[in-house]
Amino acid sequence: MAISSDVIRGYNDTIILYVLLNSDSYGYEISKEIRRLTDDKYVIKETTLYSAFTRMERNGYIESFEAEPEAEGTGKRRTYYRITDAGRAYYREKCEEWLLTKDVMAHFILDDPMKQ
C-alpha cells in the first residue's frame, strides 16, 4: 500500500524542514532524501514539494538562494533552501503537534484491525 500525500497533509512542510535541519538543500535532492529515509514508502510529488517551498518562503520558514552545483558536471542550476529560525521554531511546534496527534489517533486505531 502506498501512502497518499493527503494523509500527511499539513506535514509536508515539517518533513521538508526536517531535511533542511541537517543542511541546506534543493528540491530534487530533498525529494530523493525523503525517498531514501523512508525506503521509498513516501515519495513526495514534485508539485507538492515546490508549492511547499513557495508557501514556506512566504511564511519566513525558509530562504532561497541560487547556486551552481558544487562538483563539476553534476546537473544544472539549482535553487537552494536554508531553514530560518522561524522555520526551526515552526518545526518544533509541528513535532509537538504530531506527538499529540499520534496520542489522539491511538484511541481510534485498532492495531490488529482484522480482529474486528
Partner DNA sequence: CATTTTTACCACGTCTGTCGTACTACGTCT
Partner DNA sequence: AGACGTAGTACGACAGACGTGGTAAAAATG
Binding site for a copy of itself (CB under 8 A): 1, 3-4, 6-11, 14-15, 18-19, 21, 37-38, 41-42, 88, 91-93, 95-105, 107-111, 113-114, 116
42 lies in the binding site for DNA (CB under 7 A): no
Q: Would you state the cell numbers that stand for residue 32, as one nine-digit string?
A: 530523493
Judged by phi (left if over 0) then psi (alpha if -120 to 50, else beta), residue 80 lies in beta
Closer residue to DNA (CB): 77 or 115: 77
Handedness of CA 18, 20, 23, 28 (dihedral sign): positive
Residue 113: alpha-carbon gap to chain centroid: 29
55 lies in the binding site for DNA (CB under 7 A): yes
Task: Note the residues at the interface with DNA (CB under 7 A).
Answer: 4-6, 8-13, 26-29, 44-48, 50-55, 69, 72-80
